[in-house]
Structure 1
Amino acid sequence: MKKQVGTIIGIILIIIVAAFSLMNLNSVEVNFGFTRLQAPLIILILFSLLFGALIIFVFSSTQNVKKNRQIKRFEKLSDKKQAELATQIQELKTSLKEMETRLKNSAGKQEIGAKDQQIADLEKQIERLNKNL
């Protein structure tokens, strides 16, 4: 939408400059300081317009180049951060798996330890019973 509005405004400005130029067909003298030039006013108006457009183009081009460099720098930084985060996520997943394994082993050892304790208690009871017999 912005491009369409810009295009329409550009066309309107071109029509205004063309109409203004056609109303000023007289020849004028221009003093450049080191030389003087006699030229039709329409040529001077169009030349000034083109020179101004060239200046605007150069300035906008340099701004675009700066923005593109900045965008590339941010993209590289973003890629680097994403790679770091992916590495951290992978390390956390590995750590989680290790912890789950430890927990499972720990729970199994606790159960075995509890059963061993029960067996030891039962053996002691059997010994007591045997002594009482």
Structure 2
Amino acid sequence: MKSQIYIISALVFALIIAVFAVINVAPVEVNYLFVTTESPLILVILSSALFGSLMTGGFSIYQFIKLRKKMRALETENQNLRMNKVYHADAEVEEITEVELIDEQK
């Protein structure tokens, strides 16, 4: 459900940007630090929105990979702790049987 809300929100946002860009088609002067060019405002708006979404997506993918790596490490740690718990439980069972055998011999 959450992903559907994100998709619908993204589509609505993209539609708003597209309408805004289509309304603003006048040529504008863009300064790229070393070069100044004149291009339609629609291209400036759409390229800015595209660049922003690519940056956001890149950071999201980085965060996803980081979380997945942490999850794998925690799963491995959890599995190791479970194995140690089983090992300790087996050792306790052996100790109890040894104590019972000693008590029976007395």
TM-score by length of 2: 0.90
The equivalent of 2:83 in structure 1 is 83
Q: Which runs of 5+ in 1 are unaligned?
A: 107-133
Deviations 1:77-117 (A, max 9, x none): 112211111110010111122223333333xxxxxxxxxxx
**Greater relative contact order structure (CA < 8 Å, 6+ sep):** 2
Q: CA RMSD in A?
A: 1.3
Equivalent in the alignment of 1:48: 48
Amino acid at match of 2:73: R
Give 1:116's aligned residue. Answer: none
Question: Highest Rg: 1 or 2?
Answer: 1
Decide which moves more: 47-56 or 60-69.
Answer: 60-69
Tell me the equivalent position of 2:18. 18
* Counterpart code for 1:88: H
One-letter code of the match for 1:63? Q
Alpha-carbon separation, structure 2, partners of 1:67 and 1:8: 25
Distance 1:101 1:19 in 2: 85
Amino acid at match of 1:89: A
Find the aligned partners of 2:61 and 2:12 in 1 and give their Cα distance.
24
> SS in structure 2 opposite 1:37?
strand
Q: Distance in 1 between matches of 2:61 and 2:11?
A: 22
Q: By how many angstroms is 1:12 displaced?
A: 0.8
- For structure 2, the residue ranges without an aligned partner over 5 or more in a row are none
How far off is 1:51 after superposition? 0.4
